């Protein structure tokens, strides 16, 4: 074979290698598109991803970036940070991202994070309802939210957002922190991967979402405040943001204080 023939072979090999690289890139792009999560809308509420997917895959991967919602007015959202590395709370378009670092936690006001799953609503107008002193605990609150929503003509068959304003006697809350040591995530490891904290007598803003139809999606099936043998199902997912300190995270249990207000969305 002469030198020209050898050169043609070299060029052909380079072109072949380039074609493989391009094909691999296209395959990656197509695969990424195939696994993109399309948000689901129900009324004024949207959600993406599901808690149950963590246990199905053993992973806590990003389904969407919060930047997709940046700039949305009157935005309220909650969910966990990708990789079990924190909690996401967006209250009236202001993000509060809490992450455990050492024996304490940090809070960042940034949209530069990804969510394992997220539920959100852009809601500008709310109606205020005084919470009676008989409503004290987690299940009391869940029942009161449902009762008042029905009275206000809100369809309980669909998800809706709600707020609480005031000073609870106590809030027990957690922030996710990865304690899996690289293992596939099981329900037990998921429960273990939480750092618990307590707020006492601090004014807070609470954002929550009510649904009886989304356990394992954005509603946790087993809430610490509900005994497994009680026959009751969890129907709320609630996060708190302190008005006087840095505390923010997922509420596991709470004792309400006097003069608190429930806010339900106006249709």
How do residues 54-85 score in pLDDT, each as one tens digit?
Answer: 999 999 999 999 999 999 999 999 999 999 99
Least confident span in 35-39, 46-50, 87-91, 176-180: 35-39
3-state secondary structure the chain: CCHHHHHHHHHHHHHHHHHHHHHHHHHHHHHHHHCCCCCEEECCEEEECCHHHHHHHCCCCCCEEHHHHCCCCCEEEEEEEHHHCCEEEEECCEEEEEEEECCEEEEECCCCCEECCEEEEECCCEEEEECCCCCCCHHHHHHHHHHHHHHCCCCCCCCEEEEEEECCCEEEEEEECCCCCCCCCCHHHHHHCEEEEEEECCCEEEEEEECCCCECCCECCCCCCCCCCCCCCCCEEEEEEECCCCCEEEEEEEECCCCCEEEEECC
pLDDT value at position 2? Answer: 55
Task: Please state the pTM of the whole predicted model.
Answer: 0.86
Residue 210: which residues within 8 A CB-CB, separation 6 or more? 142, 145, 146, 149, 156, 159, 160, 161, 162, 235, 236
* Region 241-260 average pLDDT: 97
pLDDT at 157 over 80: no
What value does the mean pLDDT take over residues 218-245?
94
Q: Would you state the pLDDT for residue 4?
A: 52
Each residue's pLDDT tens digit, 201-218? 999 999 999 999 999 999
Cα separation of 82 and 103, whole Å?
A: 20
Is a pLDDT exceeding 70 seen at residue 35? no
Name the average pLDDT for the chain. 89
pLDDT band at 19 (very low <50, low <70, confident <90, very high): very low
| CA 83 – CA 99 distance, rounded (Å) | 11
Segment 23-37 shows an average pLDDT of 42
CA distance 92 to 87: 16
pLDDT at 46: 97
């Amino acid at each position: 074979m002469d030198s020209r023939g050898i050169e043609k072979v070299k060029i052909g090999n380079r072109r072949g290698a380039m074609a493989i690289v391009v094909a691999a890139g296209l395959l990656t792009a197509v695969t990424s598109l195939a696994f993109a999560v399309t948000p689901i809308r129900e009324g004024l509420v949207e959600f993406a991803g599901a808690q149950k997917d963590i246990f199905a895959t053993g992973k806590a991967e990003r389904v969407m970036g919060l930047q997709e919602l940046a700039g949305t007015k009157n935005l309220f959202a909650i969910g966990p940070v990708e990789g079990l590395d924190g909690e996401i709370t967006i209250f009236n378009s202001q993000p509060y991202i809490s992450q455990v670092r050492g024996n304490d936690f940090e809070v960042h006001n940034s949209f530069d994070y990804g969510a394992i799953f997220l539920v959100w609503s852009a809601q500008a107008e709310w109606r205020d309802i005084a919470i009676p002193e008989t409503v004290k605990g987690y299940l009391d609150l869940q029942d009161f939210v449902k009762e008042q929503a029905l009275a206000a003509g809100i369809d309980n068959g669909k998800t809706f957002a709600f707020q609480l304003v005031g000073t609870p006697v106590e809030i027990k809350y957690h922030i996710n922190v990865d304690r899996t040591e690289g293992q596939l995530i099981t329900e037990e490891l998921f429960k273990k991967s939480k750092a618990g904290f307590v707020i006492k007598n601090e004014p807070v803003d609470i954002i929550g979402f009510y649904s009886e139809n989304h356990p394992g999606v954005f509603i946790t099936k087993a809430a610490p405040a509900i005994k497994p043998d009680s026959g009751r199902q969890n129907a709320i997912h609630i996060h708190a943001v302190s008005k006087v300190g840095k505390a923010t995270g997922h509420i596991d249990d709470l004792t309400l204080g006097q003069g608190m207000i429930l806010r339900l969305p106006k249709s």
